[in-house]
Amino acid sequence: MPRPSQKQKIMSAALSCFAEKGYDGASNKDIAMASGTSEAALYRHFESKEDLAKSLHMHYLNMLVSKIEETAVSRRPTLEKLRDIVTLMLDSYREETSAFRFVLLNVHEHMWKLPRKTRYPVDTIETLIVEGQRSGVVRGGDSRILASVFLGCILRPILASLAPPGFAPVLVKNRRHDKTIAEAAIAAVSAATK
Amino acid sequence: MPRPSQKQKIMSAALSCFAEKGYDGASNKDIAMASGTSEAALYRHFESKEDLAKSLHMHYLNMLVSKIEETAVSRRPTLEKLRDIVTLMLDSYREETSAFRFVLLNVHEHMWKLPRKTRYPVDTIETLIVEGQRSGVVRGGDSRILASVFLGCILRPILASLAPPGFAPVLVKNRRHDKTIAEAAIAAVSAATK
């Protein structure tokens, strides 16, 4: 594996600092310290903490969207692709919990400042909803609404499991609840007739 | 109708200021000005902006939870009660959009600092999931996970409709999509056999 670049080191340190202290709580100094570089190095790569946070957000969002799109374009049945997207998102959450947490919990602060052309998971899911409505396997209704519902089925349990222990079963530790979430999400968008 | 108290005036002004400028952007001075009172009056009722925000959060959360609990304890069939909760939440969102926005978008910043005994919508929904599992109308699986999924079916489309125009159909303007959301949410938690 190639050694991480200075920029990668800073991004990875920022993610840890944001996870630990929150976006507001983590200073550029904290991030520089954690990355083993300097504030000067940080400013060589990023204009500001906001710029760094936005880069992080875009980076992880793009990674997730690419995986979702890869699944979406395969020639498999629509509902199977949707089911794969549930698994893929839950696995991404487990593999990159800090990143997922950052994107999910900061989404409202930052998302509307992301470039207009940014692709979101809901966009790709919506294309599958439309595809499934054409072939009759997905229920009728506004495709954007149904795509949001589908996403909500996955993200809300993740959000709950990001809360302190005791609040909800912690999805990050095992796949025990994945089947429940996948079946519920598929049922939410499936056409009633089988 | 009785005249709003000074405290109510301040809370209502704070909600508008937070909606307009965000929690970080709105100062105590802004809130005092908008309420037609003074900063001194604000500090008579609240220790700090955070204390005021927390009071607002608790106030609207309690209002919503009370409505949900009222529905939950009726003697109607479980799935009908769950369907009523969807309608109730979408109506609350339309009636009190700023409050809903505040509670929904600030939930991650503040919720874990709310008192430990705070009741959340997910708690009441979970009791209905358990009730439905006992009678066989709700699918098997962890009740907390299924309650989160159900909530996600409602909240994610609301979240999407809080985004700027063009991002998603704006639920606040009409009830056209309510049926789609209700049916999808019910299907998500229903037992497969009818």
How many Å apart are CA A99 and CA B110, to the nearest integer?
Answer: 20
The answer to whether B189 and B129 have CB atoms below 8 angstroms apart is yes
Mean local confidence (pLDDT), B29-48:
94
CB contact under 8 A, B156 and A156: yes
Interface list for B 120-149 with A (CB within 8 A): 122, 139-142, 144-146, 148-149
The burial of A1, by beta-carbon neighbours within 10 Å (0-12 exposed, 13-18 middle, 19 or more buried), is given as: exposed
Give the least confident one: A58-62, A81-85, B161-165.
B161-165
Q: Which two tokens stand for residue B24?
A: 């970080």
CA distances from A177 to A83, A173, B25, B60 (A): 14, 10, 40, 31
Name the minimum distance, in Å, from the CA of A114 to any CA of chain B: 13
Identity of the residue in B160, B181, B192 whose CB atom sits nearest the CB atom of A122:
B160
A182 contacts chain B (CB < 8 A): no
Mean local confidence (pLDDT), A69-73:
96
The answer to whether A56 and A15 have CB atoms below 8 angstroms apart is yes
DSSP letter, residue A192: S
- pLDDT, position A110: 47
How many Å apart are CA B39 and CA B44, to the nearest integer?
Answer: 9
- Percentage of residues of chain B with pLDDT beyond 70: 90
What pLDDT, in 10s, does the model give residues A154-187? 999 998 887 665 555 667 677 889 999 999 999 9
Give the ipTM of the model, two decimals please: 0.90
The per-residue pLDDT of chain A, averaged, comes to 88
Mean local confidence (pLDDT), B181-191:
97
If we measure between CA atoms, which residue out of A123, A125, A129 comes closest to residue A191? A129
CB contact under 8 A, B187 and A192: yes
- pLDDT, position A183: 97
